[in-house]
Structure 1
Amino acid sequence: MPHYLLASVPIHGHVTPLLAIAADLAGRGDRVTFLAGRRFAGAVTATGAEFLPLPADADYDDRLLAERKPGPGGIAGLRADITGTFLRPARAQYDALHVHAVASSTPPDVVIADPTFIGAALLAGHDREQRPPVVSAGVVPLTLSSPAVAPFGLARAPLRGPLNRPRNAVLHALVRRVLFAPVQAELDALFRAVHGRPAGAFLFDLQGTLDAVVQLSAPGFEYPRPDAGVPIRFAGPIIPASAGGELPPWWDELGTGRPVVLVTQGTIANTDPTELIRPTIDALADEDALVVVTTGGRPIAELGALPGNVRAAQYLPYDLLFPRLAVFVTNGGYGGVQYALAHGVPLVVAGATEDKPEVAARVAWSGTGIDLRTGRPAPAALRRAVRSVLGEPRYRSAAARLAGEIAAARGVDELVEVVDALRRGERLPIG
């Protein structure tokens, strides 16, 4: 039986999709080991996988990230996030991977890593004969550079017409030579410490140094990259069934005929409900809609007084909730957006941190919703956006098109096929 080693940074939204993959593979009778943060040990073993703890230098509690003193926004904030959250733990990640994937007496047949797990790129820096294949499981938007797309981090969709590539060339030069040059220097220093040479790839192109990318999305949500230098496959989101649990007493109200609007700030960027949840509540207080709030574990009392058309819970079973939704209002977490699209639910997105502006830009580009281009939208802007999404069929039609693509995707079977080909030493088609 094949042996899969999964690896993720200790962030809930990155671990959760890999847990679904682990459960599927373990259910097939395969051996699965999972390198993750200690707080996810129980969730890992519940899938049937063997838990491997990250070293202390690579482990942290993601729930504390949002409670840190607010840092800079925009590009400066993205630089700080990449450096502190993803780059500096990479050497410890690599050391753990080397122990479990190279030096082990029972090495895995493949390493499947979260794209922000930079230790996997360090492992892939070894000659192929010295390591197992390394595959990226795309739990965030594709970051790969291309003349056909603007550089990652600027949240700019491709232009139609002849100005697209000239614009992109200028932006790529700006990003590489100025905006992210300090981060690239730190990445190169890390590679020199391990391999005696610089990275050989720009920061956002590290996926291209791996053996394949299996993106957990649909082709229609990602910008086309006709010149990608790495095999890319789209598996669709891997969505686990909910764990069940008691439904709130108001659950039956979801079927009374009013459009249901869900708003959430996810499980990390949820410490300040005045960013998105409270403005949405205020925006829709007088609308003929039922507004459902999930707080991602935060106390409901933090929301303040709730209008009569608002229902709130810390968590809800999304597999039961999303088929009932008319609109999803979100700060742009990649997994939640994919979940909405899998159910054909159009979106209103307001995100300003991490990869959320990139997710929001893809929502607008794909026609599946509205990007408010801010992390703190005004109630009036939210009201207009929700009314537009409810009133204009093109958004739901685009979301339904993406739902069709996701339904046709092969999920974990796509990943297994890629892994099997790599194990046989086959050369996968590029792109």
Structure 2
Amino acid sequence: MPPSSSTPDISDAAPGKGLRILMMPLPIHGHVMPTLPLVTELVRRGHQVVYAATQTLAETVGATGAEVLIYESPSSTNPPGDLFDTEHMSGQPIRAVREAQATTASIEAYFADGPPDVVVYDLVTFFSGRVLSRKWNRPGLELFPTFASSHEFVFLIKLFEQVGARLDPRHPSMAEYFTELMTYLGGHGIDDPALMNDPAEDANLAFFPKMFQLGSESFDDRHAFVGPCLERAEPETSWTPPADGRPVVLVSLGTTTNEQPDFFRMCARAFEGLPWHVVLTLGSRVRPEELGEIPANVEVHQWLSHLAVLPHAKAVVTQAGMGSLMQALHFGVTPVMVPHSPEQQMIAERAADLGVGPLIRHDRIDAALLRAAVREADAPNYRAAVATLRESIREAGGVDRAVEVVESRARATTPA
């Protein structure tokens, strides 16, 4: 088995038998990063965590002390494009089945010496997660890095509605989906597709507070809304806030919809000569040289820990991914939301409904609108709404509550 990249300090870990935990979220940044502080704490408490990930994420995941199970994931090599229409959305179910078809066997083979105590999967890897947990007769736990689902609120259906479409069972992609799903399930000795019909597991964990969930009244105690799980250690970075005390604006489009050099260029120019200090973090799909000449009050980074910047920021210009938004709210920073995908639009609209910050359509934004929104971000109504949600995040429990959920679920059918 692959060695751990570090040995965590477990001197004050919880007593008792350590659990063997399989973590298998979709191996892309937006699904993996929210889980890593949880994994670090599980390892510190003496549990053995096996984390299924791609080679690209192996070093990052290994730094938690987890044992990395490296596998190939079709979804991780095919990031979403810019067109989110009915055709794209109708292909979502079949893409999820093909992810399961490509990955289940390698994960199962890794546990030939005996199954884990609990299978922790997410809303995209739920096909393989549910199949493996049932084959092994082990409890499953579903993670929700974005809006959770219940019997009354089904996230995928709401996502279709967001693009003005509906989930049509007669669509050709859906016919392919049903055929390949039955083939996949049959190959693992399961002949009842009802296993896949429940929109949630018997135990579920969401990385945001319950007050942020759409349709929250339909969710019962099967769902634990723990809020964002953030690293406890200080981020390893040499970044420091500006010495002249200028207010800081952080700009990021996350990791999936960040191939937008024109957007970053506009942001850099929007605050030129103004009493703001702008920090741009580009991600992997835009190079700094693509932005041209950078104003003196703007700094550009390919990668930079937002946890280092947010404690000093007045505002964050964000695509409104759930992880990015929750980090900002945890630190009490007003978001200026510029969503680029239907999911991000849903998240931004929910945040705007709660009053935490301005929302600008990405196809309408310009330098003047951006400057006005950032100036507006310090308004008392936004500050009050942010403070309310920040308190909700604090009360949700974070890493400690998430660890309790995982341990409790693992021990539901595991001898003491």
Identity %: 28
Measure how far apart 1:29 and its partner are: 1.0
Q: Which residue of 1 aligns with 2:23?
A: 6
Aligned runs of 1:148-227 on 2, under 5 Å? 151-153=157-159, 175-177=166-168, 184-193=174-183, 194=185, 195-199=190-194, 206=199, 208=200, 210-227=201-218
1:292 aligns with 2:300: no
Match of 1:360 among 348, 351, 368: 348
Report the CA distance shift for 1:252/1:417 in structure 2 as closer, same or farther (over 3 A). Answer: closer
Amino acid at match of 1:416: V
Q: Name the CA distance, whole Å, in 2 between partners of 1:74 and 1:370.
A: 25
1:234 alignment counterpart? 225
Native 8 Å contact 2:322 2:347 kept in 1: yes
Question: Is the 2:332–2:387 Cα contact (8 Å) retained in structure 1?
Answer: yes
Q: What is the Cα deviation at residue 287 of structure 1? A: 3.9
Q: CA deviation at 1:311?
A: 1.9
Equivalent residue for 1:131?
137
Q: What secondary structure, in the 3-state scheme, does the structure 2 residue paired with 1:4 have? A: strand
- Partners of 2:268 and 2:152 lie apart in 1 by 40
The AA in structure 1 aligned to 2:193 is: P
Instruction: Tell me whether 1:65 sits opposite 2:79 in the alignment.
Output: yes
Do structure 1's residue 32 and structure 2's residue 32 form an aligned pair? Answer: no
2:268 to 257, 277, 281: 281
**SS of 1:417's equivalent?**
helix
Which runs of 5 or more structure 2 residues have no equivalent in the other structure?
Answer: 1-17
Residue 278 of structure 1 aligns with an amino acid whose one-letter code is: R
Contact kept? 1:331, 1:375, Cα under 8 Å: no
1:42-62 per-position Cα deviation (integer Å, ceiling 9, x unaligned): 2222211111122x3x35654
- Aligned residue number for residue 346 of structure 1: 334
Deviation per CA, 1:323-373, whole angstroms, max 9, x where unpaired? 111111011222111110111111111122262222212221221112223
C-alpha change, 1:369 and 1:417, in structure 2 (3 Å) is same
Separation of aligned partners in 1, 2:272 and 2:92: 35
SS at match of 1:326: strand
Q: Which letter maps to 1:136?
A: E
8 Å CA contact 1:141, 1:222 repeated in 2 = yes
Check whether the contact 2:36–2:61 (CA below 8 A) recurs between aligned residues.
yes
**CA positional deviation for 1:40:** 1.7
Is 2:401 the counterpart of 1:402?
no
Whether 1:246 and 2:238 are equivalent positions in the alignment is yes
1:162 matched residue in structure 2: none
**Aligned-pair Cα RMSD in Å:** 3.1
Deviations for 1:240-298, whole angstroms, at most 9, x for unmatched residues? Answer: 24551333xxx341x53432111112233222221x32232333335432221111244
Moved more, 296-305 or 193-202: 193-202
Shift of 1:144: 4.1
Counterpart of 1:92, as a letter, is A
- How many Å separate the matches in 2 of 1:323 and 1:154? 36
Deviation at residue 379 of structure 1 after TM alignment: 2.5
Provide the rounded CA distance (Å) in 2 between the counterparts of 1:191 and 1:82. Answer: 9
Residue 95 in 1 paired to residue 87 in 2? no
Residues 149 and 223, structure 1, Cα contact 8 Å, conserved in 2: no
| Structure 1 residue 26 displacement after superposition | 0.6
The separation in 2 between residues aligned to 1:397 and 1:354, in whole angstroms, is 27
| CA distance 1:99–1:5, shift in 2 (3 Å) | same
Q: How many residues align?
A: 388
Distance in structure 1 (CA, Å) of the matches to 2:331 and 2:22: 30
Q: Distance in 1 between matches of 2:125 and 2:272?
A: 42
- State the 1:71 CA deviation: 5.4
Per the alignment, do residues 366 and 99 of structure 1 end up closer, same or farther by CA in structure 2, a change over 3 Å counting? Answer: farther
Aligned 8 A contact 1:4 1:33 in 2: yes
Moved more, 139-148 or 366-375: 139-148
Note closer, same or farther for the CA distance 1:155–1:290 as it changes in structure 2 (3 Å cut): farther
Structure 2 length normalisation: TM-score? Answer: 0.82
TM-score by length of 1: 0.79
Contact 1:97–1:120 (Cα < 8 Å) also in 2: no
| CA–CA separation in structure 1 for the residues paired with 2:125 and 2:137 | 17
How far apart in 2 are the matches of 1:238 and 1:398?
A: 21
Asked whether the equivalents of residues 93 and 118 of structure 1 are also in contact (C-alpha less than 8 Å), the reply is no
1:265 equivalent among 253, 264, 289? 253
SS for the counterpart of 1:327 is: strand
Classify 1:91/1:356 alpha carbon distance in 2 versus 1 (closer, same or farther; 3 Å).
same
